[in-house]
Amino acid sequence: MTRQCVNGRRFGDIETLRAEILAWSTDINNIQRGVDWRMKVKDARCKLTSVYPKIML
């Protein structure tokens, strides 16, 4: 948010800052962003063992 919304700008009061942040966050939240998964779950479980700990049954 700092880089995209308020970087290099000065605001006269807190209400103006809040309005700018609200407008920015509304625009950002309305943009649909997808995820390009490049790894299958089986591969992820092998390579990212700290994220996918083994479960003993």
Note the Cα 7 to chain centre separation in Å: 18
Tens of pLDDT, residues 9-55 = 999 999 999 999 999 999 988 987 777 878 888 888 888 888 777 77
* Integer-rounded Cα radius of gyration of the chain: 20
Q: Which residue type is seen at 14?
A: I
Token couple for 43: 């591969």
pTM for this prediction: 0.54
